[in-house]
Amino acid sequence: MQNQLETTEEEECVLRPMNCELNQLSRPDGSAMFMQGDTVVVAGVYGPIEAKLQKMMHDRATVETMFSPAKGPPCVDDRAKETVIRETCEAVLLTALHPGMAISINVQELQDSGGLLACAINAACLALIISSISMKFTVAAVSCMIDRESGKLIVDPDSTQIQQARVTFTYVFEGIKKDLVSCHTTGRFSENELMESLEKCRAASQNIFDFYRNIVEQYAIKL
Protein backbone atom coordinates (compact mmCIF):
# COMPACT_ATOMS: atom_id res chain seq x y z
CA MET A 1 0.00 0.00 0.00
CA GLN A 2 2.83 2.28 0.85
CA ASN A 3 4.15 2.41 -2.68
CA GLN A 4 0.78 3.53 -3.90
CA LEU A 5 1.22 6.73 -1.99
CA GLU A 6 3.15 9.56 -3.50
CA THR A 7 4.22 12.83 -2.10
CA THR A 8 3.07 15.78 -4.08
CA GLU A 9 3.43 18.87 -2.02
CA GLU A 10 4.27 19.92 1.49
CA GLU A 11 1.53 20.87 3.85
CA GLU A 12 1.62 23.06 6.90
CA CYS A 13 0.80 21.34 10.17
CA VAL A 14 0.85 22.68 13.69
CA LEU A 15 1.84 20.80 16.79
CA ARG A 16 0.59 22.35 20.01
CA PRO A 17 3.22 23.75 22.38
CA MET A 18 4.81 21.13 24.61
CA ASN A 19 5.82 21.78 28.20
CA CYS A 20 7.35 19.35 30.57
CA GLU A 21 8.91 19.01 33.97
CA LEU A 22 10.61 15.84 35.06
CA ASN A 23 10.77 14.56 38.62
CA GLN A 24 8.37 17.18 39.88
CA LEU A 25 7.07 14.63 42.39
CA SER A 26 9.39 13.52 45.16
CA ARG A 27 7.97 10.07 45.82
CA PRO A 28 7.97 8.21 42.49
CA ASP A 29 11.20 6.82 41.03
CA GLY A 30 10.53 8.83 37.93
CA SER A 31 7.78 11.31 37.17
CA ALA A 32 6.87 13.70 34.42
CA MET A 33 4.31 16.43 34.05
CA PHE A 34 3.68 16.74 30.35
CA MET A 35 1.49 19.25 28.54
CA GLN A 36 0.51 19.33 24.92
CA GLY A 37 -1.41 22.52 24.52
CA ASP A 38 -3.98 22.48 27.30
CA THR A 39 -3.95 18.74 27.76
CA VAL A 40 -2.07 18.11 30.98
CA VAL A 41 -1.02 14.74 32.35
CA VAL A 42 1.21 13.64 35.22
CA ALA A 43 2.88 10.24 35.07
CA GLY A 44 4.74 8.56 37.91
CA VAL A 45 6.74 5.36 37.64
CA TYR A 46 7.92 2.99 40.35
CA GLY A 47 10.20 0.16 39.52
CA PRO A 48 11.54 -2.36 39.61
CA ILE A 49 9.63 -3.05 42.82
CA GLU A 50 8.22 -6.09 44.53
CA ALA A 51 5.43 -7.75 42.56
CA LYS A 52 2.22 -8.93 44.14
CA LEU A 53 2.30 -12.66 44.55
CA GLN A 54 -0.70 -13.33 42.32
CA LYS A 55 0.70 -11.19 39.50
CA MET A 56 4.34 -12.29 39.70
CA MET A 57 5.91 -13.76 36.57
CA HIS A 58 9.05 -15.82 36.98
CA ASP A 59 10.65 -14.89 33.67
CA ARG A 60 9.98 -11.18 33.39
CA ALA A 61 8.72 -8.13 35.18
CA THR A 62 5.01 -7.44 35.43
CA VAL A 63 3.93 -4.08 34.06
CA GLU A 64 1.09 -2.54 36.04
CA THR A 65 -0.62 0.56 34.79
CA MET A 66 -3.17 2.80 36.35
CA PHE A 67 -4.91 5.64 34.59
CA SER A 68 -7.00 7.85 36.80
CA PRO A 69 -9.31 10.46 35.31
CA ALA A 70 -9.63 13.99 36.69
CA LYS A 71 -13.29 13.55 37.51
CA GLY A 72 -15.44 10.68 38.55
CA PRO A 73 -14.54 7.10 39.26
CA PRO A 74 -12.55 5.34 36.52
CA CYS A 75 -14.91 4.11 33.81
CA VAL A 76 -14.58 1.73 30.90
CA ASP A 77 -12.93 4.41 28.73
CA ASP A 78 -10.18 4.82 31.27
CA ARG A 79 -9.64 1.09 31.55
CA ALA A 80 -9.27 1.01 27.77
CA LYS A 81 -6.65 3.75 27.91
CA GLU A 82 -4.90 1.85 30.68
CA THR A 83 -4.71 -1.21 28.44
CA VAL A 84 -3.25 0.76 25.53
CA ILE A 85 -0.66 2.35 27.83
CA ARG A 86 0.22 -0.98 29.40
CA GLU A 87 0.62 -2.78 26.11
CA THR A 88 2.72 0.03 24.71
CA CYS A 89 4.96 0.10 27.79
CA GLU A 90 5.33 -3.67 27.73
CA ALA A 91 6.73 -3.34 24.23
CA VAL A 92 9.07 -0.58 25.37
CA LEU A 93 10.52 -2.11 28.53
CA LEU A 94 13.16 -4.80 28.74
CA THR A 95 11.07 -6.75 31.22
CA ALA A 96 13.30 -9.81 31.04
CA LEU A 97 15.99 -7.96 33.02
CA HIS A 98 13.89 -7.94 36.18
CA PRO A 99 12.20 -11.30 36.59
CA GLY A 100 9.69 -11.59 39.39
CA MET A 101 9.52 -7.84 39.85
CA ALA A 102 6.92 -5.26 38.96
CA ILE A 103 7.06 -1.93 37.20
CA SER A 104 4.18 0.29 38.11
CA ILE A 105 3.19 3.10 35.77
CA ASN A 106 0.61 5.55 37.05
CA VAL A 107 -0.94 8.23 34.91
CA GLN A 108 -3.12 10.99 36.29
CA GLU A 109 -5.18 13.17 33.97
CA LEU A 110 -5.18 16.83 35.02
CA GLN A 111 -6.98 18.29 32.08
CA ASP A 112 -8.23 16.91 28.81
CA SER A 113 -8.26 19.17 25.83
CA GLY A 114 -7.81 16.68 23.03
CA GLY A 115 -5.25 13.97 22.43
CA LEU A 116 -5.36 12.72 26.01
CA LEU A 117 -4.19 9.21 25.19
CA ALA A 118 -1.24 10.44 23.15
CA CYS A 119 -0.27 12.86 25.91
CA ALA A 120 -0.54 10.09 28.53
CA ILE A 121 1.74 7.77 26.55
CA ASN A 122 4.32 10.53 26.01
CA ALA A 123 4.24 11.41 29.72
CA ALA A 124 4.66 7.74 30.65
CA CYS A 125 7.62 7.47 28.27
CA LEU A 126 9.28 10.55 29.79
CA ALA A 127 8.74 9.17 33.30
CA LEU A 128 10.34 5.89 32.23
CA ILE A 129 13.29 7.75 30.73
CA ILE A 130 14.02 9.68 33.94
CA SER A 131 13.52 6.60 36.12
CA SER A 132 16.30 4.83 34.15
CA ILE A 133 14.44 1.57 33.81
CA SER A 134 16.00 -0.33 30.91
CA MET A 135 14.08 0.28 27.70
CA LYS A 136 14.39 -1.08 24.18
CA PHE A 137 13.55 2.28 22.67
CA THR A 138 11.57 5.42 23.35
CA VAL A 139 8.09 5.88 22.00
CA ALA A 140 6.16 8.92 20.87
CA ALA A 141 2.42 9.10 20.41
CA VAL A 142 0.78 11.45 17.93
CA SER A 143 -2.92 12.00 17.57
CA CYS A 144 -4.67 13.24 14.48
CA MET A 145 -8.18 13.55 13.09
CA ILE A 146 -10.07 14.05 9.89
CA ASP A 147 -12.45 16.95 9.77
CA ARG A 148 -16.08 16.07 9.12
CA GLU A 149 -16.82 18.81 6.61
CA SER A 150 -13.59 19.62 4.85
CA GLY A 151 -12.09 16.14 5.06
CA LYS A 152 -8.84 17.77 6.04
CA LEU A 153 -6.36 15.94 8.17
CA ILE A 154 -5.39 17.77 11.35
CA VAL A 155 -2.38 16.62 13.37
CA ASP A 156 -2.48 17.06 17.16
CA PRO A 157 -6.00 18.55 17.32
CA ASP A 158 -7.35 20.41 20.35
CA SER A 159 -10.75 19.92 21.97
CA THR A 160 -12.62 22.39 19.74
CA GLN A 161 -11.27 20.77 16.60
CA ILE A 162 -12.13 17.30 17.88
CA GLN A 163 -15.79 18.29 18.07
CA GLN A 164 -15.73 18.35 14.28
CA ALA A 165 -13.92 15.06 13.88
CA ARG A 166 -15.17 12.27 11.70
CA VAL A 167 -12.28 10.02 12.63
CA THR A 168 -9.58 10.22 15.25
CA PHE A 169 -6.35 8.26 15.22
CA THR A 170 -3.67 7.86 17.86
CA TYR A 171 -0.44 6.29 16.67
CA VAL A 172 2.52 5.29 18.77
CA PHE A 173 5.92 5.03 17.06
CA GLU A 174 9.20 3.68 18.30
CA GLY A 175 12.32 5.80 18.15
CA ILE A 176 14.70 3.63 16.11
CA LYS A 177 13.00 3.02 12.79
CA LYS A 178 9.76 4.89 13.51
CA ASP A 179 7.80 1.68 13.23
CA LEU A 180 4.27 1.58 14.52
CA VAL A 181 3.97 0.21 18.07
CA SER A 182 0.30 0.69 18.74
CA CYS A 183 -2.64 2.37 17.18
CA HIS A 184 -6.05 3.43 18.47
CA THR A 185 -8.82 4.73 16.26
CA THR A 186 -12.41 5.85 16.53
CA GLY A 187 -14.76 6.39 13.62
CA ARG A 188 -14.89 5.13 10.08
CA PHE A 189 -12.17 5.70 7.54
CA SER A 190 -10.76 4.35 4.31
CA GLU A 191 -7.49 2.55 3.81
CA ASN A 192 -5.99 5.59 2.11
CA GLU A 193 -6.93 7.84 4.98
CA LEU A 194 -5.30 5.43 7.40
CA MET A 195 -2.09 5.33 5.40
CA GLU A 196 -1.99 9.05 4.87
CA SER A 197 -2.55 9.87 8.52
CA LEU A 198 0.00 7.24 9.52
CA GLU A 199 2.68 8.78 7.33
CA LYS A 200 1.95 12.28 8.54
CA CYS A 201 1.98 11.30 12.17
CA ARG A 202 5.19 9.38 11.62
CA ALA A 203 6.80 12.53 10.31
CA ALA A 204 5.38 14.60 13.18
CA SER A 205 6.63 12.11 15.79
CA GLN A 206 10.19 13.19 15.07
CA ASN A 207 9.48 16.45 16.92
CA ILE A 208 8.52 14.57 20.05
CA PHE A 209 11.65 12.42 19.86
CA ASP A 210 13.69 15.60 19.49
CA PHE A 211 11.95 16.96 22.57
CA TYR A 212 12.94 13.84 24.54
CA ARG A 213 16.53 14.13 23.44
CA ASN A 214 16.69 17.84 24.24
CA ILE A 215 15.41 17.39 27.76
CA VAL A 216 17.81 14.50 28.42
CA GLU A 217 20.66 16.62 27.09
CA GLN A 218 19.68 19.39 29.45
CA TYR A 219 19.87 17.38 32.66
CA ALA A 220 22.40 14.68 31.72
CA ILE A 221 25.12 17.26 31.15
CA LYS A 222 25.12 17.98 34.90
CA LEU A 223 25.43 14.37 35.99
Partner 1 sequence: MRETPLSNCERNFINRAIAEDTRLDGRQLLEARPVEIHFGANWGCCHVALGETKAIAQVSCDIQQPKASRPNEGMLHINVEFNPIAAPHFEAGRQSELAMQVNRQLEKCFKDSRCVDLESLCIVADEKVWNLRVDVNILNHDGNLVDCASIAILAALTHFHRPDVTTTGDSITIHSFAEKDPLPLTLHHYPVCVSFIVFESGQIVMDPTYMEERVGASQLTLGLNSYRELCSLQLCYLGKTSVTADVVPSISPHAANYANKLVTQIRKAAQQDVEAKYNKEDRDVCRLKECITFGKLTAMTKPKLSIKLAHWVAGKSSPKSDMETSDFQDEDDNIKTLGHGSAELITNMSKSVGEGGPNTWQASEESSDDEIEDIEILQETKLEKKVLDDIDLGGDSEEEDTVTVSKNDIM
Partner 2 sequence: MEVNIKDVVVPGDVAVEIMKSSEKERVILGPGLRRDCDRVLVTKAGVLKRRKPAIFYVDSYQKRYVPNRGENVVGIVTQKAGDIYRVDIGAGELASLSYLAFEGATKKNRPDIVVGDVIFAKLLVASKGMEPELICVDSHGKKGKLGVLSPDGMLFDCSLSLARKLLHPSCQLLTLLAKEQAYEIAIGMNGKIWMKARSVHETIAACNAILAAENTPPAEMPALCSSIARNLLRIS
Give, as ranges, the residues between 97 and 156 that touch partner 1 (CB under 8 A).
102, 104, 106-108, 110-111, 113, 130, 148, 155
170 binds, among partner 2, partner 1, none (CB under 5 to 8 A by kind): none
Nearest distance from C-beta of residue 113 to partner 2, angstroms: 28
Distance of closest approach, residue 178 Cβ to partner 2, in angstroms? 11
Binding mask 193-212 for partner 1 (x = CB under 8 A): --xx--xx--xx--x---x-
Give Cα 124 distance to the centre of its chain.
Answer: 7
Strands 62-68 and 101-111, by their bridges, are parallel
Binding site for partner 2 (CB under 8 A): 29-30, 46-51, 58, 94, 97-102, 129-138, 174-176, 212-213, 216-217, 219-223
The answer to whether 125 and 172 are in contact (CB under 8 A) is no
Q: Which residue lies nearer to partner 1 by CB, 136 or 210?
A: 210
Length of the chain: 223
CA 156 – CA 194 distance, rounded (Å)? 15
Among 54, 58, 59, 75, binds partner 1 (CB under 8 A): 75
Instruction: Write the DSSP string, 26-93.
Output: SSSSEEEEEEETTEEEEEEEEEEEEPPGGG--SSS-EEEEEEE-SSSS--HHHHHHHHHHHHHHHHHB
Residue 47 or 157: the one with the smaller Cβ distance to partner 2 is 47
Binding partner of 161, given partner 1, partner 2, none, CB within 5-8 angstroms per partner class: none
The C-alpha atoms of residue 180 and residue 169 are separated, in whole angstroms, by 13
- When binding is defined by CB under 8 A, the residue of 31, 62, 88, 122 that contacts partner 1 is 31
Based on CB atoms, which residue is closest to partner 2, 86 or 98?
98
**Residue from 186, 176, 184 nearest 137 by CA:** 176
